[in-house]
């Protein structure tokens, strides 16, 4: 089975071709980051207009790079949510139109299930029970994956998502959008012990998160520092903020692994590109004798390969014509999270 998948939930337009076994034949991404940078965030109208412009050439490039004809595609998949309504519509409508024109099935995919399963792409052992931490720009989810399609939400954020906190703190520090990768780079030169920021809810006894208090703590710390900020001061603030986020994410994930008895931990979503999070999670899992699988960096941030992977690994995938009339859902949830 050959799947052509489209992702357009936010500011990346992406097309991938995935074989039934989960083999990625092509994964094309056109990012709009530069376009949105002057506004300090994603402008929905700009995003959807540019998905429209980018999508057709991207489909052609993916087919060419995979060395397959459109007629060889067996299933068309697209992200149905969560995400920006006007952006989701572009990818969804395109995939549905291609499915209709070629008389092939259309499969809607939950973007968060894409992130959830991305650590298993290329894993010869396939999808296995685990505790999964998904950290993206819009979500922070701890999920107990008990089997294929059997997901239980353990915890989520009470306020900002981890990526959102990175981006907002980046903005406060006058760094370019998106703040996450910039803070990651600046933190490498900084001292994480330079400021003592709160580890909110680390001892709450549940698996929920909160990052807005940490964001406020950075704000008050900034107020105390006379401008202009020296580069070394910004580096220290980045390192100390990042360390607080990483401590909470690793602490809660390890506690969830302990509570569920799972021996496998997975990490995915844009924030899992973060070098310190990857390093700290690796050290914590090693110390606890747990296996850790992290999505490959190119599949951590938004991509269509993970969307195609979800469709390709769906068991008993059957042609269901009613899916063609299924609407997008900007608030689509995964396991209630």
Q: Is 12 in the site for Zn ion (CB under 5 A)?
A: no
Per CB under 6 A, the list member of 105, 119, 155, 269 interacting with ligand KG4 is 269
Distance from chain centroid for Cα 4: 20
Query: Which is closer to ligand KG4, CB of 119 or CB of 178?
Result: 178
State yes or no: residue 22 binds ligand KG4 (CB under 6 A): no
**CB 265 within 8 Å of CB 278:** no
Secondary structure letter of residue 296 according to DSSP: -
Strand partners, 263: none
In this chain, which stretch among 122-130, 131-139, 189-197, 230-238 interacts with ligand KG4, using CB under 6 A? Answer: 131-139
Residue 190 binds to ligand KG4 (criterion: CB under 6 A): no
Residue 300 to residues 121, 147, 297, Cα–Cα distance (Å): 11, 21, 5
145 close to 127: Cβ distance less than 8 angstroms: yes
In three-state secondary structure terms, 274 is coil
Taking CB within 5 to 8 Å according to partner kind, which of Zn ion, ligand KG4, none is near residue 108?
none
Q: How far apart, in whole angstroms, are the C-alpha atoms of residue 212 and residue 337?
A: 18
| 270 touching ligand KG4, by CB under 6 A | yes
Please select the residue that binds ligand KG4; options are 22, 108, 119, 138, rule is CB under 6 A: 138
What's the CA dihedral at 122, 328, 316, 334 to 10 degrees? 60
Query: Which of 118, 136, 111, 139 is closest to 293 using CA atoms?
Result: 118
DSSP 121: T
In the complex with Zn ion, the residue whose CB is nearer, 136 or 274, is 136
Which of 48, 136 has the CB closer to Zn ion?
136
Partner interacting with residue 119 (select from Zn ion, ligand KG4, none; CB below 5-8 Å by kind): none
- Which residues in the chain belong to E strands, given as ranges? 2-7, 12-19, 24-31, 75-81, 106-110, 130-135, 140-147, 150-156, 264-268, 291-294
Determine if 164 is a binding residue for Zn ion (CB under 5 A).
no
Does the protein bind Zn ion through residue 302 (CB under 5 A)? yes
Pick the binder of ligand KG4 from 18, 132, 271, 304 (CB under 6 A). 271
Smallest separation (angstroms) from ligand KG4 to the CB of 11: 8
Closest distance to ligand KG4 from the beta carbon of 274 (Å): 3
- The contact set with Zn ion (CB under 5 A) reads 136, 302
- The contact set with ligand KG4 (CB under 6 A) reads 10, 136-138, 163, 166-167, 178-181, 184, 269-271, 273-274, 301-302
């Amino acid at each position: 089975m050959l799947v052509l998948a489209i992702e357009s939930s936010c500011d990346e337009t992406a097309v991938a071709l995935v074989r039934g076994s989960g083999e990625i034949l092509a994964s094309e991404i056109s990012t709009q980051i530069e376009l949105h940078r002057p506004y300090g965030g994603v402008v929905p109208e700009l995003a959807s207009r540019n998905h429209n412009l980018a999508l057709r050439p991207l489909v052609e490039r993916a087919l060419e790079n995979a060395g397959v004809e459109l007629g060889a595609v067996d299933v068309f998949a697209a992200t149905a949510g969560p995400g920006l309504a006007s952006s989701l519509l572009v990818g969804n409508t395109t995939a549905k139109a291609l499915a209709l024109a070629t008389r092939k099935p259309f499969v809607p995919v939950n973007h968060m299930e894409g992130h959830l399963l991305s650590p298993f792409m290329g894993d010869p052992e396939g999808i296995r029970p685990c505790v999964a931490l998904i950290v993206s720009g819009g979500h922070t989810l701890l999920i107990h994956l008990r089997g294929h399609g059997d997901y239980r939400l353990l915890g989520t954020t009470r306020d900002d998502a981890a990526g959102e906190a990175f981006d907002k703190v980046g903005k406060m520090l006058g760094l370019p959008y998106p703040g996450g990768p910039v803070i990651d780079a600046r933190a490498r030169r900084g001292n994480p012990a330079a400021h003592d920021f709160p580890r909110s809810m680390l001892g709450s006894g549940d698996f929920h998160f909160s990052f807005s208090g940490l964001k406020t703590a950075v704000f008050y710390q900034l107020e105390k520092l006379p401008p202009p900020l020296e580069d070394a001061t910004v580096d220290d603030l980045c390192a100390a903020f990042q360390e607080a986020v990483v401590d909470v994410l690793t602490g809660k994930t390890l506690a969830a692994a302990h509570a569920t008895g799972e021996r496998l931990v997975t990490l995915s979503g844009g924030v899992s590109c973060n070098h310190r999070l990857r390093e700290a999670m690796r050290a914590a899992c090693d110390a606890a004798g747990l296996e850790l699988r992290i999505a490959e960096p190119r599949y951590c941030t938004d991509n269509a390969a993970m969307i195609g992977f979800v469709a390709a690994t769906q068991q008993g995938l059957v042609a269901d014509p009613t899916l063609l009339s299924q609407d997008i859902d900007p608030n689509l949830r995964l396991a209630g999270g």
